[in-house]
Amino acid sequence: MKSVELRNVTFAYPNGYVANEQLNLQIGRGERVAIVGQNGAGKTTAVKLINGLHKPTQGDVFVDGVNTKDKTVAQISAYVGYVFQNPDDQIFNNSVKSEIEYTLRYLKLPSKDIERRVERAVELTGIGDYLDMNPFDVPYSIRKFVTIAVILAIDTPYLILDEPTAGQDLIGIKKLIELMDLLQEEQKSVITITHDMEFVANNFTRVIAMANKRIIADDTPRNIFWHEAVVAEAKIKKPEIGELAKKVGIGGNIIYRDEMVEKLSYNLKPSVN
């Protein structure tokens, strides 16, 4: 099966700080996965292992069966695209268009192909009005879409989005969801780090919870959000509806508004007897 896989992976930064311990994880093509957990749990470190920016101190990372230790970051980035948490850490060209074109030119793709890829990435991210602007002059929410467009144009089978909803309004979030749906239809994998639990509950079926350098759960949103020990250890919050259901003592491990409405209307139905 084509997948990214972490096998018994431990990673220590050059200063000796161990940020990931004994990670085991497999994500197949076409899967959509959310990684959640407290600040400093090791989420960003883990995804940087997937795209080869970090190489494991112990254990192995495979991308479609190839060990990342045997490849350069540039080689792996043709398979795994990483959209940084902060777009300013990623952007270095002086126009939006040249930012999107940069890697494609580096890869020496034919100009017709570059044009086609840029056009598609721009259309999918809706940034057509900003192409000639300096990326640092466009609003933060758009700048994030510029960095997403860069990765879309490279057309990698795996995409990592670090905090994609941060700084986005409802329109931006809707655009992101449409994008993730489309990528999934194309059998591409989207791996998303996020602190936005509503976004997780509504858009993912697989959630990986991290705490203290380790993966502590890999399950559905409902099982994650109603596993109180996981919620406490990963320091995550249930989606608001889940919190409310817990407060008012409604059973059923609710995490969605519709479930809440259904449960409440059922409870309020007059008894037949």
Ligand X SMILES: Nc1ncnc2c1ncn2[C@@H]1O[C@H](COP(=O)(O)OP(=O)(O)OP(=O)(O)O)[C@@H](O)[C@H]1O
Which of 118/236 has CB closer to ligand X?
A: 236
H or E element, residue 35: strand 32-37
Q: How far is the CB of 214 from ligand X (least distance, A)?
A: 11
Which of 96/161 has CB closer to ligand X?
A: 161
Q: How far is the CB of 206 from ligand X (least distance, A)?
A: 18
Q: How far is the CB of 113 from ligand X (least distance, A)?
A: 35
Window 43-72: residues binding ligand X (CB under 6 A): 43-45
48-67: b (≥16 Cβ within 10 Å) or e: bbbbbbbbbeebebbbeeee
Q: 19 Cβ partners below 8 Å, 6+ apart?
A: 11, 12, 13, 42, 45, 213
Q: 86 Cβ partners below 8 Å, 6+ apart?
A: none
User: Cα(first)–Cα(last) distance of the chain, in Å?
Assistant: 56
Sheet holding 158-162, edge to edge: 80-83, 158-162, 189-193, 32-37, 206-211, 214-219
Window 170-189: residues binding ligand X (CB under 6 A): none
Q: How far is the CB of 262 from ligand X (least distance, A)?
A: 34
Q: 270 Cβ partners below 8 Å, 6+ apart?
A: none
C-alpha dihedral sign at 53, 58, 64, 65: positive
Number of H helices, E strands in the chain: 11, 10
Q: How far is the CB of 234 from ligand X (least distance, A)?
A: 10
Q: How far is the CB of 232 from ligand X (least distance, A)?
A: 17
Out of 4, 19, 76, 104, point to the residue binding ligand X (CB under 6 A).
19
164: contact with ligand X by CB under 6 A: no
Which of 187/212 has CB closer to ligand X?
A: 212
Window 23-42: residues binding ligand X (CB under 6 A): 37, 39-42
Angle, helices 96-106/140-154, rounded to nearest 10 degrees: 20
Q: How far is the CB of 213 from ligand X (least distance, A)?
A: 7
Record the tokens describing residue 148, joined without a space.
């997403």
194: contact with ligand X by CB under 6 A: no
17: contact with ligand X by CB under 6 A: yes
Which of 138/224 has CB closer to ligand X?
A: 224
Out of 15, 265, 267, 273, point to the residue binding ligand X (CB under 6 A).
15
Which of 138/217 has CB closer to ligand X?
A: 217
Q: Give the count of beta carbons closer than 10 Å to the beta carbon of residue 220.
A: 14
Contact positions vs ligand X (CB under 6 A): 13, 15, 17, 19, 37, 39-45
